[in-house]
Amino acid sequence: MNEPTAPEPQSSAKVIALVDDDRNILTTVSIALQAEGFTTRLYTDGETALKALLENPPDLAIFDIKMPRMDGLELLQRLRDRSALPVIFLTSKDGEPDEALGLALGADDYIAKPFSQKLLTARIKAILRRSDVSRALPGEASDEKMPEPVRRGRLEMDPARHRVTWDGKAVSLTVTEFLILEALATRPGVVKSRNQLMDAAYSDDIFVDDRTIDSHIKRLRRKFREVDSQFSGIETLYGAGYSFGEG
């Protein structure tokens, strides 16, 4: 079951990749998403999924954590080395350590099993809206005013296209990383606490350890230093939080 189960997308249909070794869950979720206007691609193991996600990226991916050969955490870690694709984790009820690690590795959201199809669809649409992967989600209008670009020194952020550059060089960020950076860059020099950054990056019903923000900041710094080894734009005020200094 490693092939798309619906036709490839028309002009507005968004593609959702589902990765789970439970074929019943794959089928049930796929049918529900197709009813909402999405196209789905189904994969039963992480190794096959990783190759497909990199070669032909969907608009969003949903990973189960507990899988043979390559679990969801390893799949995410290897994907994040090369892609900022939005990712939702499916976790068990007692999977809090996995949830925290998944968010720290760059997941954009998680949903605990068992879950309602309505909740999953709402989370997918929220992430697509946040990342602006889609100007018009299934059944929704597309005439909303697009946000203005943010320019701070050598940094330029385009929320409408989810693009970030530093000195004109592209920096690939996940949705969560983008929102954290945007919260800092819109008010340069102002120290934002971890709680404030969590509020900017996550919806109200997601609870993460504040150290998860530290992990995201480390990933942001690493990504910017890949294009500028002297990057020092994100500053730490120990005990208080972080600020953007344009440096």
Average pLDDT, the chain: 82
Average pLDDT over residues 127-136: 59
Sign of the dihedral defined by the CA atoms of residues 28, 207, 237, 200, in that order: positive
Given this model, what pLDDT does residue 4 score?
Answer: 46
Average pLDDT over residues 89-115: 75
Average pLDDT over residues 165-183: 89
**Is 50 in contact with 75 (CB distance < 8 Å)?**
yes
Residue 6 has pLDDT above 60, yes or no: no
Residue 7 has pLDDT above 50, yes or no: no
Domain architecture of the chain: domains with CATH:
15-131 (3.40.50.2300), 150-244 (1.10.10.10)
For residue range 205-223, what is the model confidence (pLDDT) as tens digits? Answer: 555 566 778 888 988 998 8
Q: What is the CB neighbour count within 10 angstroms for residue 180?
A: 25
Residue 134 has pLDDT above 90, yes or no: no
Q: Which of 49, 50, 54, 41 is nearest to 7 (CA)?
A: 41
Question: CA angle, 60 as apex, 48 and 212 as ends, to 5°?
Answer: 95
CA distance 151 to 147: 13
Given this model, what pLDDT does residue 91 score?
Answer: 80
Q: Higher model confidence: residue 11 or residue 124?
A: 124
**Is 38 in contact with 80 (CB distance < 8 Å)?**
no
